Amino acid sequence: MVVTQRSHVVQQTIRQAAGDMWLVNPVSLVENHSACRRNRAGHRVLPNGQVWKSQLLLLSFASKILAEANTILKGQDSPPTKQFATRSRAPPLPYLLSSLLRSRPQVKLPEEQFGDEDGLDDDLDESLDSEDESEYDDLPPFKSLTKAQVAKLSKAQKNAYFDELEYREKLLMKKQLKEERRRQRMMKKTAVATNPLPGDYSENAEEESEGPASVPVPMPDLSLPASFDSDNPSHRYRYLDNSNQWLVRPVLDTHGWDHDVGYEGINVERLFVVKDKIPVSFSGQVTKDKKDANVQMEFASSIKHGEGKSTSLGFDMQTLGKDLGYTLHSETRFINFRKNKATAGLSVTLLGDALSAGVKVEDKLIANKRFQMVMSGGAMTGRGDVAYGGSLEAQLRDEDYPLGRSLSTLGLSVVDWHGVLAIGCNIQSQVPIGRSTNLIARANLNNKGAGQLSIRINSSEHLQIALAGLIPLLRKLFDYHEEMQLGQ
């Protein structure tokens, strides 16, 4: 019973991860515990009396032999004229289409990396200048109480005290947010005013580069994933953050099963400025495990050609299966209305000997401070095959977000390929249910009937909610106790 139950759980997990409820994988239960029972021959046996080592070897050899036989049969079924031809695979059009529809951030100059993108939301923040600046400064004096003083208050007095404290903190954060946005606007205006002087800019850049170097700062240790070893060698992978324009970081595989460490690659980033007006960004990542090596590299640049108009150009190289894929993409953005931004783009991908091309159209609408929506649609074609798709993302948030904690997001994606329609829906909502408690709910569903629902509560006040986490632990211990009794 134990072997059957464990095998069923593993198969269900594989099916959910693969998204195929009809998938059947052979499962072999292995027991390496020192207290595992042994038969007369000295072999370790499962609770059902079966020797697990012979069953595991049989499944492994049988799977390998069947795979080799399947490969030979496929080779015999192919036409004689194509046996020695170069094997070419069809390009993964749905994946390329989803990559094309993804919104890409625009590369900006260092002095332009302030505030909202393209200044689209500046008109929506006019209230920052219209509201009274001294709203927080006009409040009467307020003295914070200690924990001992708060404990002496009645319940009504505590509620009144915390309400007043929360109101003052909100006004203070709003004031700081106004000052920060005004500072960003001022820096943006200053950058525009000094832009016609490229010589001065380059001289200042050289003076800054010749200045005293900053002291390198050690970066915090990243937590290593679970391992079979009891050691935690995170000290071997510490690095310093200095003033070098090349940003080099290790890549951590949080879901790995490495016996030693979870670092399997390196990430490099750099931002260049060509002729003081064209930003060019470079990012590359190389990961290597015991079998495969993956490479990801991206060059991106953008050029402004008018008020609210810009064109971006990028080149990507990444590992797709056993081949390297090369993608050249370009997008043009323009603000056609006060609260609307449209984007048109195209891309060309070379994967092996297959060439694919696609086009997309995207529109972003900001109705007000609370609601915004992004719609995109496109098509990708390659070797006479076409895939169509579209996506919609709507966001409803609090008027004072991020001061207000209410945020809801709806995502919808549709892909049509070979006459098969794939529809996916994602919903996420964050609702404050108290002074320091948030309710976060996530749900996703597709047209195949597969979905997931999760509800989470975050609280810094009601710590007794953490006791609910003991319920699955106690249930697991109870089930383990029953399994031990059945094994005896």
**Residue 381 pLDDT greater than 90, yes or no:** yes
Q: Which of 109-118, 239-248, 307-316 reaches the highest mean pLDDT? A: 307-316
With contact defined as beta carbons under 8 Å apart, do 415 and 98 qualify?
Answer: yes
Average pLDDT over residues 101-116: 76
Buried (b) or exposed (e) across 328-341, using 16+ Cβ within 10 A?
ebebebbbeeeeeb
CB neighbour list of residue 384: distance below 8 Å, 6 or more residues apart: none
User: What is the pLDDT at residue 410?
Assistant: 94
User: What is the pLDDT at residue 349?
Assistant: 93
pLDDT in tens, 4-52: 777 788 888 887 777 677 777 788 888 878 888 888 888 888 877 888 8
Q: Which residue ranges make up each domain of the chain?
A: 2-85
pLDDT band at 200 (very low <50, low <70, confident <90, very high): very low
**Residue 124 pLDDT greater than 50, yes or no:** no
**Residue 287 pLDDT greater than 50, yes or no:** yes
Owner of token pair 């260049």 = 272
Report residue 58 as tokens: 């049989």
pLDDT band at 426 (very low <50, low <70, confident <90, very high): very high
CB neighbour list of residue 281: distance below 8 Å, 6 or more residues apart: 107, 269, 270, 271, 272, 298, 299, 300, 301
User: What is the pLDDT at residue 298?
Assistant: 94
Average pLDDT over residues 174-193: 75
- Rounded CA-CA distance 271/302 in Å is 12
pLDDT band at 228 (very low <50, low <70, confident <90, very high): low
Whole-Å CA distances, 299 to 100, 131, 314, 318, 319: 16, 43, 5, 12, 16
pLDDT band at 405 (very low <50, low <70, confident <90, very high): confident
Owner of token pair 């089930």 = 479
**How many CB atoms are closer than 10 A to CB 349?**
25
User: What is the pLDDT at residue 87?
Assistant: 46
- Rounded CA-CA distance 390/380 in Å is 11
User: What is the pLDDT at residue 488?
Assistant: 57
**How many CB atoms are closer than 10 A to CB 366?**
20
| 3-state helix vs strand vs coil in the chain, percent to 5 | 30, 35, 35
**Residue 197 pLDDT greater than 80, yes or no:** no
Of 174, 242, 249, 188, the residue nearest 212 (C-alpha): 242
% of the chain exceeding 70 in pLDDT: 78
User: What is the pLDDT at residue 207?
Assistant: 45
CB neighbour list of residue 370: distance below 8 Å, 6 or more residues apart: 396, 397, 398, 399, 401
Which residues on adjacent β-strands are paired with residue 385?
A: 382
**How many CB atoms are closer than 10 A to CB 343?**
20
**Residue 267 pLDDT greater than 80, yes or no:** yes
User: What is the pLDDT at residue 429?
Assistant: 93
Looking at per-residue pLDDT, the higher value among 434 and 474 belongs to 474
Looking at per-residue pLDDT, the higher value among 161 and 125 belongs to 161
pLDDT in tens, 133-142: 567 777 888 8
**Residue 458 pLDDT greater than 90, yes or no:** no
**pTM higher than 0.85, yes or no?**
no
pLDDT in tens, 54-98: 888 888 888 889 888 888 887 655 554 444 444 456 678 888 999
315 φ, ψ (degrees, to nearest 5): -135, 125
**Residue 221 pLDDT greater than 50, yes or no:** yes
**Residue 230 pLDDT greater than 70, yes or no:** no
Average pLDDT over residues 102-116: 75
**Residue 201 pLDDT greater than 50, yes or no:** no
Helix (H) or strand (E) holding 70: helix 52-77
- Rounded CA-CA distance 312/303 in Å is 6
E strands present in 275-384: 278-288, 293-304, 309-320, 323-337, 340-351, 354-366, 371-382
- Rounded CA-CA distance 360/97 in Å is 9
Looking at per-residue pLDDT, the higher value among 74 and 341 belongs to 341
User: What is the pLDDT at residue 229?
Assistant: 61
Query: Average pLDDT over the chain, rounded to whole?
Result: 78
CB neighbour list of residue 382: distance below 8 Å, 6 or more residues apart: 90, 91, 93, 96, 349, 354, 355, 356, 357
Helix (H) or strand (E) holding 198: helix 198-209
- Rounded CA-CA distance 445/448 in Å is 8
Average pLDDT over residues 313-331: 91
